[in-house]
Amino acid sequence: MYFLLMSYVCGIVLLPLRLSGPEGSCSGRLEVYHNAAWGSICDDQWVIRDAEVVCRQLGCGKALSANGSAAFGAGEGVIWLNRVECRGDEIHLWDCSYSLKNHTDCSHKEDAGVTCADTVRLVNGSSRCAGRVETLYGEEWGTACEDDWDMKNAAVVCRELGCGEAVDVLGNAHFGQGSGRIWPHQRFRCRGNESQIHLCSSSSTLKQNCFNDSDVGLVCADSLRLVDGSSRCAGRVEVLHRGQWGTVCDDDWDMRDAAVVCRELGCGEAVDVLGDAHFGPGSGPIWMDDVDCSGSESTLKNCASAGWGKHNCNQTKNVGVICSGKLYYFCNECNSQLLY
Ligand SMILES: *[C@@H]1O[C@H](CO)[C@@H](O)[C@H](O)[C@H]1NC(C)=O
Ligand SMILES: *[C@@H]1O[C@H](CO)[C@@H](O)[C@H](O)[C@H]1NC(C)=O
Ligand SMILES: *[C@@H]1O[C@H](CO)[C@@H](O)[C@H](O)[C@H]1NC(C)=O
Ligand SMILES: *[C@@H]1O[C@H](CO)[C@@H](O)[C@H](O)[C@H]1NC(C)=O
Ligand SMILES: *[C@@H]1O[C@H](CO)[C@@H](O)[C@H](O)[C@H]1NC(C)=O
Ligand SMILES: *[C@@H]1O[C@H](CO)[C@@H](O)[C@H](O)[C@H]1NC(C)=O
């Protein structure tokens, strides 16, 4: 009862976690957002069990290692967490015990990070959103067998990578042949609504006729992006229409609209909406105005709006969004209560 009450109060104050690695990566220095600042985690007692929980929470698959001693570089500013102790089977980091405060007794030379196993990537395309499908099996990357891939699998991979909708599945090693192995025994059967490929059911039946020239390629729409923010999950909302990127007007824009954007980009939940060109004016056309999503749409394009290019707006009013990232929140008050 007490906890529920606190959760409710905490619905207002959100505390994101993020990995400061390369874009879309499942490895990097770990950071937590608290009291309006991103801060590091100190590596005292930072072990693989803790990394397992972080990787699970991030939807990043298996933990390969818990890296300490600023292995991914030293952060700046505050160090918020220390003495994280997980059993290893928790769903979220906040289910573990830890100390949350301004840890001035720890230095950034002790920043903690994790190496999780990304489970899927697109290789040798024009962007990270197109290319040959490669999946991780154990600790080795390999290619998928063409006959096993359909648009439902493709939809899941595009979503997992934050690349919008699936546009096409290409056979005949369109993006070249992988140098790694083919996984004839890793055959995914997605329904299409899963958030990650490893959540799809997979059949382990050995597929006999898998050759390198059947390496499957995938093209995702990548028709939505967040620009000029601190990461690909925050910034000015831009949509691609008729080959040109344009902005969206902030009229009537609310958290439900932001939620659709964040979900479509594989960026977790919506944290904030910022109007009045907070992330700067865009240079292209204003493509959307009076956007009114119900919140359940799978893509921004399916939301009600004034129509492509129809607006009474200017670039001083374009909208920006901050998403949580592939991450989850826990709230300040709750954890303070639980901790102390
Ligand atoms: C993280 O730790 C693993 C295992 O010790 C190591 O192989 C890897 O190189 C480390 N990553 C970095 C960036 O140092
Ligand atoms: C953390 O404590 C240090 C030393 O007291 C102080 O300079 C710093 O501003 C504090 N940082 C935050 C974010 O509270
Ligand atoms: C990349 O793709 C091109 C075709 O788009 C192909 O000719 C080339 O061999 C591929 N390279 C690799 C390393 O797969
Ligand atoms: C996917 O759709 C099926 C029914 O088609 C449903 O049972 C399942 O819960 C859905 N999964 C998700 C993650 O939405
Ligand atoms: C695919 O190519 C790799 C490297 O060129 C090779 O080692 C492997 O045997 C090939 N696999 C098949 C099934 O032809
Ligand atoms: C943009 O709109 C604002 C408010 O409607 C207005 O004050 C401003 O002059 C307009 N700027 C341009 C360049 O049209």
pLDDT band at 210 (very low <50, low <70, confident <90, very high): low
Residues 6+ apart with CB under 8 A from 114: 19, 27, 28, 30, 51, 54, 55, 63, 65, 66, 67
Nearest CA to ligand 3 atom 5: 175
pLDDT at 212 over 50: yes
Residue spans of the domains in the chain: they are 7-116, 120-220, 224-323
Return the residue whose CA atom lies nearest to atom 8 of ligand 5: 181
**Local structure of residue 205 (DSSP, 8 states):** P
pLDDT of residue 291: 96
What are φ and ψ of residue 235, in 5° steps? 145, -170
- Report yes or no: 280 and 242 within 8 Å, Cβ to Cβ: no
User: pLDDT band for position 9 (50/70/90)?
Assistant: very low
CA-CA distances (angstroms) from residue 232 to 157, 296, 322?
17, 22, 10
DSSP notation for 49-62: HHHHHHHHHTT--S
The predicted structure's pLDDT at residue 3: 30
- Judge whether residue 109 has pLDDT over 90: yes
Q: Kindly tell me if the per-residue pLDDT of 305 is higher than 80.
A: yes
Whether residue 10 is predicted with pLDDT greater than 50 in this model: the reply is: no
Q: Identify the pLDDT of residue 54.
A: 86
- Token pair, residue 59, equals 């939807």
Q: What per-residue confidence (pLDDT) applies to 330?
A: 35
CA distance 246 to 243: 10
Whole-number pLDDT of residue 36: 75
Confidence label for 6 from pLDDT (cuts 50, 70 and 90): very low
pLDDT over 90 for what percent of the chain? 34
R_g over Cα of the chain: 21
Place of tokens 């990232």: 325
DSSP bridge partners of 237: 226
Mean predicted lDDT score pLDDT of the chain:
80
With cut-offs at 50, 70 and 90, classify the pLDDT of residue 16: low
pLDDT in tens, 284-300: 899 999 999 998 887 89
* Nearest alpha carbon, ligand 2 atom 11: 78
CATH topology of domain 120-220: Mac-2 Binding Protein (3.10.250)
**CA of residue 140 to ligand 5 center, whole Å:** 14
Say which ligand is closest to the CA of 286. 6
**Coil vs helix vs strand at 63:** strand
Domain 7-116 and domain 120-220, same fold? Reply is yes
**Domain at 7-116: CATH architecture:** Roll (3.10)
Give phi and psi for 245, each to the nearest 5.
-80, 135
Q: Are 7 and 334 in contact (CB under 8 A)?
A: yes
Please report the pLDDT score of residue 327 as a whole number: 45
Tell which one of 32, 78, 103, 332 to mutate to probe ligand 2, the residue whose CB is within 8 A of the most ligand atoms. Answer: 78
One DSSP character per residue, 93-128 reads GGGSEEEES--TTS-GGGB-EEEE---EEEEESSST
pLDDT reading at 111 higher than 60? yes
Give yes or no for residue 338 having a pLDDT over 50. no
Q: What backbone phi and psi angles, to 5 degrees, belong to 146?
A: -50, -45
Whose atoms come closest to the Cα of 314: which ligand? 6
> pLDDT for 238-283, tens place per residue?
998 877 889 999 999 999 999 999 888 877 789 899 999 999 998 8
- Confidence at 332, pLDDT banded by 50, 70, 90: very low
* Beta carbon of 191 within 6 Å of any ligand 4 atom: yes
H/E stretch holding 104 reads none
The Cβ of residue 335 has, within 10 Å, a number of other Cβ atoms equal to 20
pLDDT in tens, 39-50: 999 999 999 999
Q: What pLDDT band is residue 184 in, cutting at 50, 70 and 90? A: low
Q: Encoding tokens for residue 291?
A: 């956007």
C-alpha to C-alpha distance for 319 and 199, rounded to whole angstroms: 33
Six token digits for residue 106: 């720890």
Distance CA 196, CA 53 (A): 17
Enter the CATH code of domain 224-323: 3.10.250.10
